[in-house]
């Protein structure tokens, strides 16, 4: 998989997820086999760039691999400025968000709401591509609703305006995350354009990854929710695509090591009290299959101090190992 001048190590990509794909999570996914990790979306509104939230999202210090930064907005000029600002800040790829289904994003006409207005899509793409000298990628859904699946039309707009790669989530905006993703539209998009196409949506296992790649003809796959609490899914999928064989599931001792590394990095990155709060959702995802009744997670979620979180997890894993 190639994006502009960048040859990725493999074709398994971390989807941008607001509140999740921060620097600690991106670094972990890269270390565990992802070919590229796209950052959380940044607003194109310059008024929010200096907030703590945006400053954290823009932090790429010491990050390995190609730095891809996603921007969101509906004003072509502001999107162009946001692209320039992020390139000055170290972005090597700019990704345009036209896939987010969240109400608060869509009511500003950003994210997947833009799919209703192909002319505006074209204006934004032209403005961003013309503003920076790095590759620009685009993430979309298949359309606004099942009666208006215009993914092929949007893909052609992307291609003729020099978009370097197109990621497609196999749902419309109206579908949100309900039901099952469909891959027919992604297949039709791949057949209608020559730029790289990345398939996204409901890819939860190595077998599903291969099935989706084979069916759609896509050049790469993008994993979002399936990586929550399971960042090793990237190496599992990459290995299966290369060899047709399965990697063994990580031992509990390795899960412990990965989780503790992630926890410490979150504490360090966000500081107190934010690091401990953000850690809660990640820990909950990691332990879903072990702590099925949620007993430990309820205790953990009440802890405010990083030290208390570390101690609680150490004790939890020691108890697991002893049983």
Catalytic residue, chosen from 100, 166, 195, 199, is: 100
Does residue 175 carry a catalytic annotation?
no
Contact 13, 198 (CB under 8 A): yes
**What residues are labeled active site?**
100
């Amino acid at each position: 998989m190639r994006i502009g001048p960048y040859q990725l190590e493999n074709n398994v990509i971390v989807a941008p997820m607001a509140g999740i794909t921060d620097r600690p999570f991106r670094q972990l996914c890269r270390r565990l086999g992802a070919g590229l990790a796209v950052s959380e979306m940044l607003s194109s509104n310059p008024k929010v760039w200096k907030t703590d939230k945006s400053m954290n999202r823009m932090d790429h210090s010491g990050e390995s691999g190609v730095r891809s930064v996603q921007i969101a907005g509906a004003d072509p000029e502001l999107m162009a400025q946001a692209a320039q600002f992020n390139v000055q800040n170290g972005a090597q790829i700019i990704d345009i968000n036209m896939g987010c289904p969240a109400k608060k994003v869509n009511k500003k006409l950003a994210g997947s709401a833009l799919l209703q207005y192909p002319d505006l899509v074209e204006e934004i793409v032209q403005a961003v591509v013309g503003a920076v000298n790095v590759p620009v990628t685009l993430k979309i859904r298949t359309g606004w609703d099942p009666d208006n699946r215009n993914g092929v039309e949007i893909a052609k707009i992307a291609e003729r305006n020099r978009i370097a790669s197109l990621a497609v989530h196999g749902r419309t905006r109206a579908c949100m995350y309900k039901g099952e993703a469909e891959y027919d539209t992604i297949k039709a998009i791949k057949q209608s354009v020559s730029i790289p196409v990345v398939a996204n949506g409901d890819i939860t296992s190595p077998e599903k990854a291969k099935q989706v790649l084979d069916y759609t003809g896509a050049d790469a796959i993008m994993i979002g929710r399936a990586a929550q609490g399971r960042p090793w899914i990237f190496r599992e999928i990459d290995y299966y695509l290369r060899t047709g064989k399965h990697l063994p599931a990580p031992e509990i001792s390795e899960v412990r090591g990965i989780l503790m590394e992630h926890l410490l990095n979150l504490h360090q990155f966000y500081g107190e009290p934010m690091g401990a709060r953000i850690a809660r959702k990640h820990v909950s995802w990691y332990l879903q299959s072990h702590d099925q009744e949620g007993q430990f997670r309820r205790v953990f979620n009440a802890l405010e101090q990083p030290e208390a979180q570390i101690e609680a997890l150490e004790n939890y894993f020691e108890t697991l190992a002893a049983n």
